Structure 1
């Protein structure tokens, strides 16, 4: 467990058991580049701590994204300034619709750290092109990339794993993890994870 994510002594928490699935893509899929519907614009841009937290919290709340909520601001600011990390924000008619974060710090592999849509934009046909764009952003460079990795878990959207597989990722392994999620974060546990 990361030091910053440890519970304080006596802190109230909910324990959940999740199955984590690790996936990998070794080469770019053979398909046309990602195409978004009219009004949708994807941009690679630097993010400040407050903007990142808004994206992370809004997109991730239904899926128990909690680790970065625990990360201190100074540590998060260093992460956001890391040249190996890239942030792509999707806007539809000017409204933030989702984002993805890639990390080339594992070179020659690149990890898709986070990927998701704002709750109001789920089910509107944006997930596939956003995932395709994430893959395109990694494989478009032409440098000697070994592969792209991502993981998902049983706390994620039920379509997450099938969508990663449909995009060309292959399952590498599965593990079970127990998460102690501090109640102070105010996250609502999905019913299927309640013990």
Structure 2
């Protein structure tokens, strides 16, 4: 038997799947063999720079959480020494093409907070490279548990991508949110796969 719940106009619903791992797999050496890519640790990320990269990577998937934060709230996260921000660039280019954010604020539960690439990098193996670098970092820190989540607004292959990396689904929730395209957080023309209502 199924149940349907009405979603009010201006709202979106997404099914969020939580993943975790407790035994880190070996580092994906083949995934790291990308001389055309460079991952740079950003020690003191500028808030506007971060928001621009977050938007460039995530707007098509309706990433909005960090865009709605005040400067103070965002700065408290991304400037925390236990949060690591990395920018991916392609050889010969200066504009970042990907974002990797690792959160070690809870020493027992490290979070793969954000991992994504711009539209022109999808299918290039850059995501695998970012995951390999993330796993390399997690193996260095050795947290007892690493977790990540994805939702039905993300790339449809995201769950398989996390499973291939060694994560296992451990929970599911429904998130109801104000559509970020209707309140000015994101442009109205992004994420055409999710209709505006």
TM-score range, shorter chain: 0.7 to 0.9
Matches within 5 A, 1:5-84: 14-33=10-29, 34-46=31-43, 47-84=45-82
1:191 is paired with a residue whose SS is coil
Runs of 5+ consecutive residues of structure 1 not aligned to the other structure: 1-12
Answer yes or no: is 1:134 the counterpart of 2:115: no
* Shift in CA distance, 134/31, structure 1 to aligned 2, threshold 3 Å: closer
Give the deviation of 1:37 after TM superposition.
2.0
Inter-partner Cα distance in structure 1 for 2:162 and 2:154: 12
Alpha carbons 1:155, 1:190 under 8 Å: kept: no
**Where does residue 177 of structure 1 map in the other structure?**
175
Q: Which moved more, 1:153-162 or 1:69-78?
A: 69-78
Shift of the alpha carbon at 1:194?
Answer: 5.7
**Distance change in 2, residues 1:165/1:193 (3 Å):** farther
Q: Cα RMSD between the aligned structures?
A: 1.8
Moved beyond 6 Å, runs of 4+? none
Shift of 1:191: 2.6
Residue 141 of structure 1, CA deviation: 2.5
* TM-superposed deviation, 1:162: 0.5
After TM superposition, the score normalised by the length of structure 1 is: 0.85
Instruction: After TM superposition, give the deviation of residue 156 of structure 1 in Å.
Output: 0.2
Normalised TM-score (structure 2): 0.84
